[in-house]
Every structure is written in structure tokens, then in C-alpha cells.
Amino acid sequence: MKKLFAVLGDPIGHSMSPLMHNDLFSFYKMDAHYHPLQVKAESLEDAVRGLKAIGIAGFNVTVPHKSTIIPLLDGIDELAGEIGAVNTVVNENGKLIGYNTDGPGFLAGVKDYIPSLTGKKVLIIGAGGAARAIYFTLVKNGPQRVDVSNRTVEKALKLVNECTKSISSNALSLDQAGKRLEEYDIIVQTTMIGMYPIINEQPLSLSNLNENAVVYDIIYNPLETEFLLKAKQKGAKIKNGIDMFVYQGALAFEKWTGVSPDVGRMRQNVLKQLGGTRC
Ligand code: ATR
């Protein structure tokens, strides 16, 4: 019988996950289908119960359900618990188990460019859901320091105080981070500043950027944000959010099927789609 997969969110029309996963199912000749499901916050509990009843094989979870789904599942793994958010659910013998592949997806993309994080100094800009996923993944992978800078400093402080690893982590205002920018080897922009349609904004000044730094922006529409454009002009290496999106999907696919998919194929597919829909 055809296996059913889905992504739950509201809105959901913009999601590129169905295209990405359905292409993989057909490429690997798997009898499976991935469907976008628009689920309102107040219907989430009913939706999860219904999906479990019909024996869904797995699903992704996106805005605004990544945290509120947790009590509706049969269990979550340790990283998802630390992050406080689930983006991937696997039906394991009738039990719905939640995982978070956003942070590991980011890390997998980083490893293509920076094979080891040992000794690196990292700055994360933002302290929301995406920043939490990246923060809790990075602190486990060897950097010397992971600082968090946010418009609301209290939120950055709350995040670094939740860390149980013995790693140096400071909470900074955006202004403080801008002044100390030359200290960092890796800078990760996780806010929505610069995302289509308000594309000519950036969260902080890059005038003190170290030209040897690698600058990430998890946004992929536009493919090159104002922040990345300025970083490139300063001579830094830049990376957009395509890889994080593709790798989080690849890790979910692997959890569902046991197959490690062709990431290059997934990236091409998403880029083709973005090329058709961008401004
Ligand atoms: P996500 O789950 O996508 O990370 P989120 O949890 O709503 O989204 O977090 C959004 C992040 O972008 C936060 O760090 C937010 O800063 P605050 O905590 O101060 O709200 C940041 N952000 C959003 N709009 C911003 C702006 N105009 N200037 C600076 N930071 C902004």
C-alpha cells in the first residue's frame, strides 16, 4: 500500500517540501506520496489524532506548530527537547516520535565548507526558533564559543543560560555584536530581516567583519540577502539558506525511509523552483 507523508502548517502553500520529497520518492521508485496539509492551530490536535489513525508513515511540521505539537506526540528525541521544537515526525510502530532536523541540517551544510568547528568562534544573530535549533546543535560540535545576539537581549540571555554544555556563550545586543564582529570566524543570521519582500534591510552593520569569516544567512528568498551582499563585498565567504533547507529535508527523508538521498538533486530541484517564483 502507498505510504503517506505530509507537511502540516498554516500557511502551507509556499512549502517546497512536497516537490522535494515527491521527486525523491519517484527517483528511488518508492510507492509513497507527500502531501501539504493546511492545519489551523485550533485543529492541530484533531489533525495529529487523525493522521495517527490512518497510519501516516511520517510528516514534517512547520510554522506555527513546531512547539505546540510536542505534547501531542508519543515522544521526542533529546535534541528536539532542548530546542523545544519538532520539525520531523516518524511513525515508529504506531508511535509518533518527534525529531528536529533543522539544526543538524544547518550543521551538515556547514560541514561542506568548514570540515571542523573545533576552536571556532561563532556568532548567531537572532534568538527565535531557528536560532535555538542552530545553537543547540552547534554547541555539541566543538566550537570554542557560540555567542547569541538579539534585538531583545533578554531572549538571547535566556537561550545561552539554557545551555548545559561547558562552552563559552555570551548574550549580546545587536549593537555590541556589530562592534565585536571581527572576533568571529562564523556568523549565522537567523532572523527574517532581508527576506522577500523587504529585501534591503540587514540586522547589523558588517563594517567590523573579519574578511576570513564565513557568513551564513538562513534566508533563501532572495538567494543573496543584503546581509550576504555586504559580507561578500568585505571579502567574506557567504552561504544562503538553501543548504539548511535541503539538508533538513534529506535528514527527514533518511529517518522515514532509511535512504540517504541525493542532496545535489534536491538542491537543483529547489533552485529551479525558486528561479520560477522569485521576484
Ligand atoms: P523563527 O522561528 O523563524 O526564528 P521567531 O521565533 O519569531 O522566528 O524569531 C524571530 C527572530 O527575529 C527573533 O530573534 C527576533 O528578535 P526579537 O526576539 O527581539 O523579537 C528577530 N527579529 C524579528 N524582526 C526583527 C527586527 N525588525 N529587528 C531585529 N530583530 C528582529
- Write the pLDDT tens digit of every residue in 187-223: 999 999 999 999 999 999 999 999 999 999 999 999 9
Measure the CA–CA gap between 86 and 206, rounded to whole angstroms: 32
Cα(32)–Cα(21) distance, rounded to whole angstroms? 9
Query: Scanning the structure block, which residue is given the C-alpha cell 543547540?
Result: 136
Residues forming beta bridges with residue 36, ordered by sequence position: 7
Report the mean per-residue pLDDT for the chain. 96
**C-beta neighbour count of 165 within 10 angstroms:** 10
The reply to whether 66 belongs to the active site is yes
pLDDT (tens digit per residue) in 46-105: 999 999 999 999 999 999 999 999 999 999 999 999 999 999 999 999 999 999 999 999
> What are the pocket residues of ligand 1 if the criterion is a CB atom closer than 6 Å to any ligand atom?
126-131, 150-152, 155, 190-193, 203
pLDDT band with cut points at 50, 70 and 90 for residue 124 = very high
**Nine-digit cell string for 2:** 502507498
Task: Looking at the CA of residue 125, tell me the nearest atom of ligand 1.
Answer: 14
Half-sphere exposure of 40 (CA within 13 A, CB side): 2
**Per-residue pLDDT tens over the stretch 50-64:** 999 999 999 999 999
Residues in the chain: 279
Confidence of residue 239 (pLDDT cuts 50, 70, 90): very high
CA nearest ligand 1 atom 26, residue: 193
Query: Strands, E, within 100-200: which ranges?
Result: 121-125, 145-149, 171-172, 186-189
Reply yes or no on whether the pLDDT at 229 is more than 70: yes
Catalytically annotated residue among 3, 29, 66, 232? 66
d(CA 62, CA 55): 20
Percent of the chain with pLDDT over 90: 94
More confident residue, 120 or 164: 120
Q: How far apart are CA 98 and CA 118, in angstroms?
A: 29
Instruction: Give pLDDT, residue 164.
Output: 80
Which part of the chain is CATH 3.40.50.10860? 3-100+243-273
Asked whether residue 276 carries a pLDDT value surpassing 60, the answer given is: no
Q: Looking at domain 104-240, does it have CATH number 3.40.50.10110?
A: no
Cell output for 205:
552593520
Residue identifier of the C-alpha nearest atom 18 of ligand 1: 152
Range list for CATH 3.40.50.720 in the chain: 104-240
- Cβ contact 265:27 at 8 Å: yes
CATH code given to domain 3-100+243-273: 3.40.50.10860
Contact 101, 79 (CB under 8 A): no
In whole angstroms, give the CA distance from residue 17 to residue 154: 34
Nearest CA to ligand 1 atom 22: 191
